[in-house]
Structure 1
Amino acid sequence: MKMLLLSDIHGDIERLKDVLDRSPETDLVAILGDLTDFGPVDLANEVIGVIEDYNKEIVGVPGNCDPDGVEEALSSVSGLVDGSRKKFGEFTFAGLGGSNPTPFNTPRERSEEEIEEVLEELVPDQDNLILISHVPPKGAVDLTQGTHAGSDSVLRVVKKYEPLAVLSGHIHEAQGKTEIGETVIINPGAVKNGDAAVLEINRGIDVRFL
């Protein structure tokens, strides 16, 4: 399976089109949140439409900067929303939107307790699970201004259940790949900065940053 990973578009349609022009053909597109910069929902629909022109197979979650209505726009094309699962071939995707609390009082923040409750419903007893979480685990591809801004709850659940991979965004400058135990953690970087990644899962997990 080959996937295009897109995160933190923040409504930048021209950068999005440039990234898609540079992208190879893939089986699936994963949108990792922050389609918009606090809206509007019409812009989220425009973003989704541009991505659909590239590939109509989409999974995605809203980010902390996406207001009410963006989740509904995503669910109409992806079949995966915050707090749900979706099968694609031999893989199961689980979605966690929004983020842990930030200093910026963004529209879609949640407590660490709520994050853990959602993940405990989604993650256990799933083979070949890929977690799409806008916020990364604490300490993994989450460094911003010298501080690890990821989620303690995502980290705990990853250590406990060891999903196949976690695909996250949120921290624009933390593009990269790392591992927690047997789980591969990937941040493709921010589309608004011209960044994205292609993930290929065959016998192993390979990532190419665009």
Structure 2
Amino acid sequence: MAGTITTKVMIISDTHCFQFGDAEKVRGHFKQPLPKVDIILHCGDLTERGGLKAYQDAIRMLSCINAELKLVIAGNHDLSLDGPYWYTKGCDPEDPEDYAEHEKGIEILKGPLAKEAGVTYLEEGLHTFTLTSGAKCTVYASPYQPEFFPDFPGIDIMMTHGPPEDILDWVASPPGTTVGCQALLRAVSRARPLLHCFGHIHEAYSATVVTWKDDREKIGADAIEARSPQPSVYPDSSNRPIKFGKETMMVNAAIMDVNYNPRNSPWLVDLELPRAA
């Protein structure tokens, strides 16, 4: 495609302290050797409940993946990475070490260990990267559910921890219940990125392509024209063309299944990213 560069993206989420070698014990698919990719996206829940050693171990796990750009956000299990929560509800304010875990955890995710592993920790907001191939990647990242999503033009990828409403958000119990965020669906319907990736709901691991209506005034569920479920073809990558502004590939990339066994494969997607000026 003229003006774009084909970029291979690996998407994972909800690894919950996973280390390579674990998957083989339960016949999982997330194991070495992994395909070489241009970008890896981790959509949160690196750990079971935070902890400095757990953050360090997660960085070491990501260091084993061959990718030029490794982008990571926090999830709800990564408790101490959420400063407002940690200082008000999560820590023991009388314990200096416990109280300091948020600051030290962020230092791990942004410090020398992460840099050596090639990991970039993203907090709420818009981020732009240029790959050595010349591809430019614009990412909106949020570990939360953004209630008021700005109308940023030209977003290629949205990374959130949880799913939007009624898209890969069903839970096993009670059957038929969906738990996705309505505000997030409104946000993604306004941004219409090439890719929206998330996790959080292990049992809803899957992918679908949403086709949006031409009417840009339509927001949320009213903006959806059609959905097309996508099969996982791992270790190959999906090369289904995504029409920018018209379609979004939605990916729930939880590696752990509902029983917290690492049975799910990463998602591999070839995206046509714009060429940097």
Deviates more, 1:32-41 or 1:79-88: 79-88
* 1:91 has 2:115 as partner: no
* 1:164 has 2:187 as partner: no
The alpha-carbon distance between structure 1 residues 91 and 16, as it changes in their structure 2 partners (threshold 3 A), is farther
DSSP-derived class of the 2:153 partner: coil
Count of residues paired in the alignment? 184
Which sections of structure 1, spanning at least 5 residues, go unmatched?
A: 101-114, 204-210
C-alpha distance in structure 1 between counterparts of 2:188 and 2:13, whole Å = 20
Task: Point out the structure with max Rg over C-alpha.
Answer: 2
Instruction: Report the counterpart of residue 109 of structure 2 in structure 1.
Output: 74
Residue pair 1:92, 1:127 contacting (<8 A) in 2 also:
yes
Tell me the CA shift for residue 45 of structure 1.
1.5
Superposition CA RMSD, Å: 2.3
DSSP-derived class of the 1:27 partner: strand
Deviations 1:95-141 (A, max 9, x none): 1114x6xxxxxxxxxxxxxx213x33xxx233142001011111111
Tell me the CA shift for residue 71 of structure 1.
4.9
C-alpha distance in structure 2 between counterparts of 1:137 and 1:168, whole Å = 9
Instruction: Report the counterpart of residue 139 of structure 1 in structure 2.
Output: 166
Deviates more, 1:31-40 or 1:184-193: 184-193
The alpha-carbon distance between structure 1 residues 134 and 15, as it changes in their structure 2 partners (threshold 3 A), is farther
- The AA in structure 2 aligned to 1:66 is D
* 1:25 has 2:36 as partner: yes
Deviates more, 1:8-17 or 1:44-53: 8-17
* 1:200 has 2:266 as partner: no
Normalising to structure 2: TM-score of the pair? 0.60
Identity over aligned pairs, percent: 24
The alpha-carbon distance between structure 1 residues 15 and 84, as it changes in their structure 2 partners (threshold 3 A), is farther
C-alpha distance in structure 2 between counterparts of 1:97 and 1:28, whole Å = 19
Runs of 4 or more, structure 1, over 3 Å off, are 14-18, 69-80
The alpha-carbon distance between structure 1 residues 152 and 74, as it changes in their structure 2 partners (threshold 3 A), is farther
DSSP-derived class of the 2:159 partner: strand
Instruction: Report the counterpart of residue 251 of structure 2 in structure 1.
Output: 186
